[in-house]
Chain A
């Protein structure tokens, strides 16, 4: 087990820069998820930690030791690939023991480690099979087994569940979490799936275009997204955004929509009067309400029942707007509905897309 430090790491591929100075420190035994859309640099960062990509600038430390110049084999880490990368000419037991065999471990130790890992992952009946005779889920398990037999300092996962179907993915997700609980190993997990990130992580690192956008616990990212990118990326269905202007009065603050509706805010913000802002609200926080002064009328475009709840696709001033509700009455919603935004669930972002800083309301002009 080990801690991992990433200090001001940059990566260029030729003239293309994909990571622009990433800082990250991962504590011993922590489960950190790197999440972001394709091309955000999360896999590149993981591969740099593994030693599969060179570090252009900056420093990576494992257990306090600088590893920039070390070959992957000397970093004592294990990696699970998206494609599993099982050795096709070796059976399951050979695949799992390869790392120990080339390190010339004692035969009894290898047998014990393999059978121990096989028991944990329920692979015992498959040990003599070749990878091509395994299902996707089984291959995934073997890839995990290969990682755990060596008891490395850290586990790196590169989108390990992307190739599985939805049900299997959920099952494996739970198994990975259980495995981490049992082994307590430092783990870095790359995914573009925010549900995986939310469910697995002790801490999430949200990345976009080679820059870390926010680091925090899953609920921190959900409750207080640092900017528009994180707000839009975390949560499904995604957060709704509305353009507005910030207004502040005596003891009140609000956001004025282009149609003139004033949406009340629960606190003041460190913003100029009349500043352009983006108002964000999650679909699950929107209330379907009877018409009132601060409610808005929206047209219903589409109703999607998910079984658990209902997603309403609305049009608000011609812009798409989603509502998620558990109330089945929404299934029979008419051509228009009225929606209201509870102030405590509103997110306000300034012109640059950053989360607006809150301030006390008294500061407002009289």
Chain B
């Protein structure tokens, strides 16, 4: 029994390790290509690490391309979208979790419906709508579109976190003398931090890597986001793999920093001890 459980644990760990390796391998390849000098890129065959490392691609991307602008744009768009969506989704998710109101069923159905068809279908009508408002080729336009598309899912996500917080906590607060809003702000919100962090992270990543709308709504470099910028490395006759990968590695940094920042809130178990479980 004991040796069996040790064996089982070992097997479990090995399986996880294999999965992690599999998932991280593309990232490793990204890094490897980004530090491979151009002359070795096609001459060395398939190798795990180039025989000579160089940061020339990074230097080029930072100094001679429009990438710093793309980064800034992406940061603005993804950051603003994440904050706005999380704020709105917290309120709507709380309402869906706690209140019964007329039309709730249809509201949820409608929100679910928006998640059901491919976004490509909507590109043309959205362009048509945003164009007279002067919101094409603008970061604000992108934020509006991303916010609209992320709110339904984020709402469901937040609702599930609110559902996990016992109703009695708010009732106790109300009896203690709190208004509905005070109970929300002082009791529920601090306990939902993991949910808020998860939602922030999810929306930030989604907006950070969105390509379709960015490509369709933005023309020219001044308002382009980083995924659109990546495509500038693809020219008619060649692809600048080294520079593209270097840009990719750089694009990972903000996302990694962001998750590093929110990860302590992602830790669950904050509600332990509230009620007998």
Contact = CB atoms under 8 A, between A and B. Distances in A.
Interface string B248-275: 0000000000000000000000111111
Contacts of A131: 273-274
Nearest to A81: B168
B206 interface: no
B252 to A, nearest CB: 33
Contacts, number: 87
B179 A85 contact: no
Given A83-B168, A85-B168, A136-B276, A73 B179 contact: yes
B239 interface: no
A77 interface: yes
A87 B187 contact: yes
Interface in B164-201: 166, 168-169, 171-179, 182, 186-187, 190-191
B177 A103 contact: yes
A130 interface: yes
A96 to B, nearest CB: 10
Interface in B140-181: 166, 168-169, 171-179
Q: B interface, by DSSP: helix, strand, loop or mixed?
A: helix
Nearest to A149: B176
A78 interface: yes
B176 A99 contact: yes
Contact of A89 (B171, B176, B179, B190): B190
A130 B179 contact: no
Contact of B191 (A79, A89, A102): A89
A182 B272 CA distance: 33
Instruction: Specify which of B166, B174, B177 lies most central, judged by the most chain A CB atoms within 10 Å of its CB.
Output: B177
A136 B182 CA distance: 28
A139 B178 contact: no
Contacts of A98: 173, 176
Contacts of A133: 273
A72 B166 contact: no
Interface in A89-140: 89, 98-99, 102-103, 130-134, 136, 139
A136 B273 CA distance: 9
Given A87-B187, A89-B190, A139-B273, A102 B169 contact: no
A86 B273 contact: yes
Contacts of B166: 83, 85
A52 interface: yes
Interface string A146-187: 100010000000000001000000000000000000000000
A71 interface: yes
Nearest to A136: B276
B271 A88 contact: yes
Interface of A: 50-52, 71-73, 77-79, 81, 83-89, 98-99, 102-103, 130-134, 136, 139, 146, 150, 163
Interface of B: 166, 168-169, 171-179, 182, 186-187, 190-191, 270-276
24 contacts: A50-B175, A73-B174, A77-B175, A79-B172, A79-B175, A83-B168, A84-B274, A84-B275, A85-B166, A85-B169, A85-B275, A86-B273, A87-B173, A88-B271, A98-B176, A99-B177, A102-B177, A102-B178, A102-B182, A102-B186, A103-B177, A131-B274, A133-B273, A139-B276
A-B complex: 10 closest residue pairs judged by Cβ atoms: A132-B273, A83-B275, A131-B273, A99-B176, A85-B168, A85-B172, A88-B274, A132-B272, A163-B276, A73-B177
